[in-house]
Amino acid sequence: MNDIALAHYLFTGAVLFALGMVGFVTRRNMILMFLCTEMMFQGVVVSLVGFSRLHGNDTGQTFVIFVLTIAAAEAALALGLVVLLYRRKRTLDAGAWAELNG
Amino acid sequence: MSVMADKLAGVWPEITLGLGACVCMALGLAKASSTRKLTSWVAGLFLLLSGVLAIAGPQPTSGLILPPQMVLYVKLAVVAVGVVLLLVAAQLPSSWRATHRAEEGIEPFDPANVMRGEFFAFFLFSLAGVMLTTTANDLVWLFLSLELVSLPTYVMVATSQDRIRAQESAVKYFFLGALAVAVFLYGFTLIYGATGFTDLSRVQSAAATTTSPLLTLGIVLAIVGISFKIAAVPMHFYTADVYQGAATPVTAFLAFVPKTAGFVAIIILLSMLPQWPTHGPIMWLLWIMAALTMTVGNVMGLLQTSVKRTLAYSSIAHSGYLLVGLLAGPALLTSGGGGSGAIGNGIAAVLFYLVAYALSTIGAFAVLGCVQVDGHEADSFDDISGLSTKHPGLAAVMLVCVLSLVGLPPLLGFIGKIYLFGSAMAHRGENPAFVWLVVVAVLNSAVSAVYYLRIIGACYFGKPSGRTEPQHCPSRRIAALVCGIAVVVMGVAGNRLVTLARESSQLAQPSQQTPAKVVSDELPTDIHGG
Model pLDDT for residues B494-513, shown as the tens digit of each residue: 666 666 666 666 654 433 33
Q: ∠ CA B334-B335-B339 to the nearest 5 degrees?
A: 75
* Window B:155-194, CB contacts with A under 8 Å: 155, 158, 164-165, 167-172, 174-175, 178-179, 181-183, 185-186, 188-190, 192-193
**Domain residues of chain B, as ranges?**
275-509
Alpha carbons B129 and B258: distance in angstroms, whole number:
9
pTM of the entire predicted model = 0.90
Do the Cβ atoms of A97 and B172 come within 8 Å?
Answer: yes
Percent of chain A with pLDDT over 90: 65
What was the pLDDT predicted at A11? 94
Query: In sequence order, which residues have a C-beta less than 8 Å from that of residue B316 and are 6 or more positions away?
Result: B231, B232, B233, B236, B239, B293, B296, B297, B300
Residue A16 at interface with chain B, using a CB cutoff of 8 Å: no
Q: Which residue among B165, B178, B186 sits closest to A99, beta carbon to beta carbon? A: B165
pLDDT category of residue B329 using cuts at 50, 70 and 90: confident
**Domain residues of chain A, as ranges?**
3-95
Average pLDDT, rounded, for chain A = 88
Q: What is the DSSP letter of B307?
A: H
Residue A75 at interface with chain B, using a CB cutoff of 8 Å: no
On whether the CB atoms of residues B276 and B329 are closer than 8 A, the answer is yes
Task: Report whether pLDDT(B482) > 70.
Answer: yes
* Cβ pairs A/B, distance under 8 A: 122
> Is the preceding omega at residue B13 within 30 degrees of 0, hence cis?
no
- Residue to substitute from B154, B189, B198, B381, interface A, most A β-carbons within 10 A: B189
pLDDT tens digits, residue range B94-151? 556 666 666 666 666 555 455 567 889 999 999 999 999 999 989 999 999 999 999 9
pLDDT category of residue B183 using cuts at 50, 70 and 90: very high
Name which of B371, B350, B227 is nearest B289 in CA terms: B227
Q: Which residue among A34, A51, A73 sits closest to B193, beta carbon to beta carbon? A: A51
Helix axes of B68-89 and B248-270: crossing angle, nearest 10 degrees: 170
- Residue to substitute from B192, B214, B307, interface A, most A β-carbons within 10 A: B192
On whether the CB atoms of residues B120 and B24 are closer than 8 A, the answer is yes
Residue B226 at interface with chain A, using a CB cutoff of 8 Å: no
> In this structure, which topology does domain A3-95 adopt according to CATH?
Helix Hairpins (1.10.287)
CB burial of residue A65 (10 Å; 0-12, 13-18, 19+): exposed
Name which of B6, B134, B126, B125 is nearest B60 in CA terms: B6
Residue A3 at interface with chain B, using a CB cutoff of 8 Å: no
pLDDT tens digits, residue range B28-63? 887 777 777 788 889 999 999 999 999 988 887 777
Query: In sequence order, which residues have a C-beta less than 8 Å from that of residue B203 and are 6 or more positions away?
Result: B139, B191, B195, B197, B272
Lowest mean pLDDT among A66-75, B2-11, B229-238, B309-318: B2-11
Distance to chain A for B92, nearest Cα, Å: 21
Tell me if residue A56 falls in helix, strand or coil: coil
Q: Which residue among A44, A54, A100 sits closest to B169, beta carbon to beta carbon? A: A100
Do the Cβ atoms of A100 and B164 come within 8 Å?
Answer: no
Which bin fits B468, alpha (ψ -120 to 50), beta or left (φ > 0)? Answer: beta
Percent of chain B with pLDDT over 70: 85
Alpha carbons B510 and B209: distance in angstroms, whole number:
11
What was the pLDDT predicted at B513? 35
What integer is the mean pLDDT of A28-51?
A: 94
What was the pLDDT predicted at B335? 35
Tell me if residue B168 falls in helix, strand or coil: helix
Q: Which residue among A34, A54, A66 sits closest to B144, beta carbon to beta carbon? A: A66
